[in-house]
Structure 1
Amino acid sequence: MNKYVTLVAAIALATLSTDAMAGQAFLRAELGSSDTEVRYDGFRGSESDTSGVVGGGYWFTPNIGVEGHVGSLYNKDLGYDEELDLVSIGVGVVAKKNFGADNTGFFIGARAGVARMTAQVREDTFDVVDDESSTKPYYGVNVGYDFNRRWGLSLNYDRRKGEFSGVDVEVDTISVGGEFRF
């Protein structure tokens, strides 16, 4: 059985084109607005806040890659020198299709993966008083423009979910992003 698995893996690697092996690493930063909806025991409420996410990854081909991200989705002053932060850390796959020559010009894209959302109550002195985490799938779509093979701008929509002691949280984020590839 191991011989067959080795043979299949060798054939799959041999069929990859040189373009697929010549990838690009990337760094991305996104700034936008998150609409955070909370549901608990029949109660439903939502608020918006500024979000900031940074990430990076690797494009294996011009169309398929992997990414990781970390960012702040929501921040609320609770009074008494305490704040509530909603932070996301995730990994996933990305895909995009450029409509210009040489993988430049307008593009559409999508991403999906797993994100660990953490709700933290912390004091202004950065001491974490309490925190709870939830790991769930995330997904998103984007449109944008690649000015050249090294950098581009995008408009992004992402959805992340979490559950904290019976409190369901959904975060919809619309952001503007910049990506530098090297």
Structure 2
Amino acid sequence: MKKNLIVAVGLVLAGLSAPVFAQGNGFIRGEVGRSDVDFSVDGGSASDDDTSWGVRGGYWFNPNFAVEGFYTHAYKTSFNDGFDNYTLRLHGAGVGVVGKKNFGGAHQGFFVGGRVGISRGVATFDVDGDVEEAEASSAKPYFGVNAGYDFSERFGLSLNYDRLQADGDGLEVDVDLLTLGAELRF
């Protein structure tokens, strides 16, 4: 089923004419900020925060609509219980659609936007750096909103809020990200 969907999407994209792509822009963006992570493990819960970073890339079909793919490193912590060293890492990758409304021209001036799609969140818990004790991985919806300023048709900055989730093996994770992003369009 997944292979058929991938082939169908590939055929649709291959069938799009060059003039459609000539109107848009590819983009890449980097984001850095803070993550607020809520954990729930077999009835117990905890929360923590950390520095997060991510990269996104995609294609603006017009100034208001794009598709994107992304990778986000959301959280990492290490601790020792007196016997072993433990490391917990959270990251996610996904694909989705982006909407944006500029209050100047196309990719000019102040803007507000949103994004939504599917992400695969992964939580890994390692002991002594080489033994993977548990991994929670799941595909879940993600969403985000942002506001910013496009300095030109090729460069803009934004303040972003995104929500990612993962669960599995008795572990549930909700991640709220507040980041500053810089986007280059080409």
TM-score range relative to shorter protein: 0.7 to 0.9
Contact kept? 1:100, 1:106, Cα under 8 Å: yes
| SS in structure 2 of the partner of residue 161 of structure 1 | strand
**TM-score for the superposition, normalised by structure 2:** 0.81
List aligned pairs for 1:27-66, cutoff 5 A. 27-66=28-67
Q: CA deviation at 1:175?
A: 0.4
In 2, distance between residues paired with 1:144 and 1:175?
A: 12
Structure 2 unaligned blocks of 5 or more: 1-11
Aligned positions of 1:53-132 closer than 5 A: 53-79=54-80, 80-122=84-126, 127=130, 129-130=132-133, 131-132=135-136
Aligned pairs for 1:144-159 within 5 A: 144-159=148-163
Which is higher, the Rg of structure 1 or of structure 2?
1
2:167 to 163, 168, 178: 163
Distance 1:85 1:41 in 2: 18
Deviation at 1:40, TM superposition (A): 3.5
- State the 1:123 CA deviation: 6.2
Partners of 2:136 and 2:167 within 8 A in 1: no
**Is the partner of 1:101 in helix, strand or coil?**
coil
Structure 2 Cα separation of the partners of residues 88 and 169 of structure 1 = 11
CA contact (8 A) 1:21 1:61 kept: no
Change (3 A) 1:91 1:128: farther
Give structure 1 stretches of 5+ with no counterpart. 1-8
Matched residue SS, 2:153: coil
Which aligned segments of 4 or more residues in structure 1 are displaced greater than 2 angstroms? Answer: 18-21, 39-44, 78-82, 121-125
Deviates more, 1:38-47 or 1:114-123: 38-47
TM normalised by structure 1 equals 0.83
Q: Distance in 1 between matches of 2:131 and 2:94?
A: 21
CA RMSD of aligned residues (A): 2.2
